A and B are shown apart, each in its own frame.
Chain A
Amino acid sequence: MNLFFTRRGKKENTEPLKAAWEDQITSQSPKTCPACGQASPADQWHKRGQVCPKCGYHAPIGAYYRLSFLLDPGSFQELDRDLLPADPLDFPGYPQKLSDLEQSTGMMEAAVSALGSIEGHRAVFAVLDSSFLMGSMGTAVGEKITRAAETAQRQRLPLIIFAASGGARMQEGILSLMQMAKTAAAIQRFQSARGLYISCLTHPTTGGVTASFASLGDVMLSEPGALIGFAGPRVIEQTIHEKLPAGFQRAEYLLEHGFLDQVVPREQWRSVLGQILSLHEKGGR
């Protein structure tokens, strides 16, 4: 099934996925759930994609790890892996911070984009990673998302983006803000060409990412319990001088207020996305 991906002499490189996957099983010590406080064996967490076996809490996960269980085995082909961050403000300490993060996370930026398939349906994927500067969108992330939309349009494939972000990246200043316009415009253009865009929100999706590409899906989905909003809860509380109710800005709350189609538990992503892709197969490119 991978003949298609390799036909132009490009071999799929599944190494980052394998590494991310194996990384999760090397630690065998029991993990304590931050939500329910109960400990469960690490392999139990891993089996469910880092969802607490006791209470169903969805722990944040990295982009490569997510793709490792989301995509059909062997279908992953990373795009723009060599697209590196830039430092347009010459912001003090930023290059050092980036290289430290590269060391500690093994990622060069907060987004991974790839060609891949789910249940045999090909699509272009982009996944943000909250372990890298809170998944914030600077020029490199904006460029990756934009190119993902352009690739999807060129190849007439659906576009699936998993958001996880604190918003625009402060260290890159105004150009980070401009990535909102750039990505929103690219999505708009892709959708005008009848492209299917499925936006999948994970914890947390806030700020400039919520206010751009992440809110523009033809289909809007979220993981359970994900915090989704424009302003963060702390800023709102400081502004209105009152405590926010429990569950405010959580996925279930957004579902109730009409901003999501469905809340999808992590273990169901493959089947739900597979179903949507299949329903859009004919005519919906």
Chain B
Amino acid sequence: MINRSLKLPISLKVSISIFIVFWLIIAAFPFIWTLWGSFKIEADFFSKADWMNALFAPRTIAEKGGAFTGDGYYGAWVQENFWQAVINTTLVCFFVVGTSLTIGTLGGYALSRSSYKYTFWLLITALIFRAMPPITLVAGYLLPFYEWNLWGHLATTVIVLVAINQPFTLWMLHSFFQKIPKELDESAKVDGCTQFQAFRHVIIPVMWPGVITTGLFSFLLAYNDFAITSMLLSQNNQTMVPKIASFMGTTQTEGNVMFAVAAVVSTTAPLFIMVMFFQRQIVSGLTAGAVKG
């Protein structure tokens, strides 16, 4: 690769660099801009007079005495109880990832170790389920959930998210388990282990890279979901994303769009950190399905 890039003519090199810079600006600038703007007041971040106001913040200085203000964050976290949504999201994500990995590894392992034809049909069914937009299922949930008073609780949402997550988890873990040689657990079974013992003592110790990658995607699904969480959670139990959407309804009239800006930054920050630490796993997860298929 390196000697090939050395051979690039200078004009091509320059245009590639320009393109990359252009793409990086498109990809990252909106986030940096929003982060910067979240510390201003609305009159500066949304300035009719001059966009430079968002940079130098004359109104923020005039009103708050400094170029940066934490008012948006205070408003969102304290006044509008965004902290509650943060706790809810943490709970939902933790239980979704935990449950979906537990039942997903069992299922994915079984699929990879059985040679009967029905495993194929199960995988095809999972693929069909994976294609269903989650919002189309919501109408089916609401009636029984109302009848049995299950609507609005975090636990219900966790179970629904786990189920919606299963098809993807199964496919991913299935392909990871297929890379673990069958001889490993076969030999354990020859030594007298049951299938479950072989799984417990031989497979679990070596499966972690695949499980961590799959876990990251389960986490992302739970963290980013809007369709299910906005429909199935009551006001008090809302997670961060539907909470932000509800800000849009209430705060725009009060001129407090900055609450929403601050909430968006607060929600995005953990994702940034996650990508920073798990970039390699995310990339390998995205490509796992593709390269295999």
Query: Is the pairing of A and B real?
Result: no
**Residue positions of A touching B, CB distance < 8 A:** none
